[in-house]
Structure 1
């Protein structure tokens, strides 16, 4: 037979790892507001990693492993090293409990309770009817509440450091008046907002001002509100909207009367502090107070509470995915990012991050080295060509001068202009040119993934600039110019040899550099 929990209020509801854990509270099947003096001890959860309908909820019972005594009005948060621990603070016990600790922890992975040892425990007076808020530094803030055994409502702030396991207190300068049953939530700037509540004499407090506690600078401030200000109320719930720019409140009571369903839902802009009544679609549920609300995916999930009809579900779903309008629904669709009910998404490990950065560094260095080598080779080649051309020009000038001198001597000696003219040497030397064909599509380097060796010499494909010499024509010379022709041919041979040598040297240098980088990266990963 499926587990069916009792109706309750002043319970705790903690969302951890795709599960909504419900613990204790007044058992309303016994009596209104616990008149019979009995608090529930039930402990169970709702799996929100799978879709569900609020009319057919499958609860999972954990009551048989509950170490915590029956209690009401406690505060609870998600914390721990891996954010998979429930931290339960305060609350009032209605039975003779053997372990009346102020703090309990529940490990959701091992399903086990424990009582931590906390420095300063003896100086802390346990309290109830408050809301626990944890910030990004792992500190739990417990404001106000009623001191157990003294019937006194207070306005100080207890701080539980979950990292160093020690108690502390905040400044009370400009703190709001003492209160219980207020709404509270942590804003993106690490400020806690406090809304409404009730004094010791059952007087519901106004919402024309809200109170801000800066957890970073340890100071209080008060903000006046405007717009459609809700009526005074206590026993309400508050969650931060999906856009991080508004707080949504629901339910509550005023002077011992439950707020009507039509007056239950408001939003507060946390930049302008203006109250508005959102557009609402769907079947509006009945009113309730002293319930809990959690933000899960696109929904404000409201659990249990006091005042709703037997025909209504213990769970209410308000779809807040559209900031301009909200909708009451009965079908829950889990967040897309949910991977499994027991395995939260974790960021990349330092080793993974290092490996990613190392691979990127290798690629960048190799490409940079290859481009630098190509540019250096081209520069050396042009310098070499310029020097060679200068040498050719000097040789041509010397040959031409010798030829003219010989011809002048012949003419002077014979003084015969009818002598058959000697063949005129016509030499044409076309400058060598460097052509880079298809460079716009050239793949300088390609690195393939390989399970055994991520970067391999065979994976590196490098193309060196092809050097072509076009337009060189044969030169017809006489015997006096044979020396120059031989010099030119020798230079061309040297040209080709130098280019090939530079090619080989460049590829060898790049290959050695890649191997060094691979060895260095593997050594770093071993650490």
Structure 2
């Protein structure tokens, strides 16, 4: 009887272990379906409570973008209406773009919340073929997950494939895009530009301003930040070695001017990010030095007071801060959400180390937090919080529900099998009736 009990116990636990292993594998499969691959050179936009990420380059072996076969057309987003941990962000996938896309930028219309993707390198999805015949602008309606290409009046054909740019959009729906390059990484000739292009999204008319004598030189991979005063502030980029010299453009009178910022010493940088806080400070983050993309810019974080034009370095541990370039950064209330990008210190001239991590910086305390709580930050625009679920999102929800039902069936079936085996084992032998003096029990 003792041998039987040992044999039965061993088989019982073996069945339980096998069953639990199946469940673990099933849940691992479910979780892996909604995690985007590491990437860089994507663009992001905040629409209400949804933070969208468009496209990007997935390649780690092509640091110079000489091939576009790994440029994706994926669209991912995070729902910021609920709390989550940065280790397991609640990623959701939306309908993909009609083209592969990188090194461009997106603007959200203040009129109807449409996303305008301007410029960038565009490719036929899943191929290395450049999409020269594509539109220079794609429009995304997040309410119905629909991509369209608008008919633009007076478009400047030299802007086609313009990349490494940062457009901004004003309250009247006008998009301002300066400079850029048409370099595509295919060993073809290219031109760097210093013209200002304006797209009026209300009438879909395009205009290119004459190049003024005081316009900045050609430069790319900069950041552009629009202040409430209508001034666009350009920081960094491939233009010169003096980051203290900041170019500004007045959208009201179309005049350029130069600001020489004081304060802390801020090094040169490209492929960094910039956000504007509610108190008028521009926070720049990450990037690499202008003549070596494998070396991180220093300091890694800095802020510019646009009322005094003074630089300062926040008291944030440079050791614990993630080193990123070609990443995304978006301000949501008091949270600066940093995502994806390339890790300069782990990259070389022939290899790019990519990230799919999410970091959240509290811009009031300058502390990296691991939990996102929407109740601790104020949404920038409560009027745009209502979102209609997209078809792809519904599909994802149905898939998750379906897999959940399948897991439930497997759980129920597994417990039924284990229960049946237990019942069968217990009834396979005659009942043992204890008598006085015995110590065995079942």
After TM superposition, the score normalised by the length of structure 1 is 0.59
> For the aligned residues, what is the CA RMSD?
2.5
Match in the other structure for 1:6: 37
Deviation at 1:214, TM superposition (A): 0.4
Distance 2:383 2:81 in 1: 7
Deviation at 1:285, TM superposition (A): 2.4
Match in the other structure for 2:258: 222
Match in the other structure for 2:52: 21
How many residues are aligned here?
A: 333
Distance 2:135 2:222 in 1: 24
**Aligned match for 1:90, one of 119, 125, 128:** 119
Deviations 1:6-42 (A, max 9, x none): 2111111111121111111211356434454321222
Match in the other structure for 1:326: 366
Summarize the Cα distance change of 1:326–1:206 in structure 2 as closer, same or farther, 3 Å threshold. same
Deviation at 1:319, TM superposition (A): 0.3
Match in the other structure for 2:63: 32
Match in the other structure for 2:285: 250
- Flag the structure with higher helix content: 1
Match in the other structure for 2:152: 118
Summarize the Cα distance change of 1:311–1:68 in structure 2 as closer, same or farther, 3 Å threshold. closer
Structure 1 unpaired stretches of 5+ = 345-527
Structure 1 position 158 matched with structure 2 position 197 = yes
Contact 1:239 1:294 in 2 (8 A): yes
**Aligned match for 1:142, one of 153, 156, 177:** 177
Contact 1:13 1:303 in 2 (8 A): no
Distance 2:209 2:96 in 1: 32
Deviation at 1:90, TM superposition (A): 0.9
Deviation at 1:81, TM superposition (A): 3.2
Deviations 1:407-445 (A, max 9, x none): xxxxxxxxxxxxxxxxxxxxxxxxxxxxxxxxxxxxxxx
Contact 1:140 1:159 in 2 (8 A): yes
Deviation at 1:326, TM superposition (A): 1.1
Alignment of 1:147-296 (within 5 A): 147-148=182-183, 150-173=189-212, 174-199=214-239, 205-244=241-280, 246-254=281-289, 255-260=291-296, 263-280=299-316, 284-296=320-332
| Max Rg structure | 1
**Aligned match for 1:71, one of 95, 98, 101:** 101
Distance 1:274 1:112 in 2: 43
**Aligned match for 2:142, one of 104, 108, 116:** 108
Secondary structure, aligned partner of 2:237: coil
Deviation at 1:260, TM superposition (A): 4.2
**Aligned match for 2:336, one of 282, 296, 300:** 300
Deviation at 1:261, TM superposition (A): 7.9
Deviation at 1:125, TM superposition (A): 2.4
Deviation at 1:120, TM superposition (A): 1.0
Match in the other structure for 2:386: 343
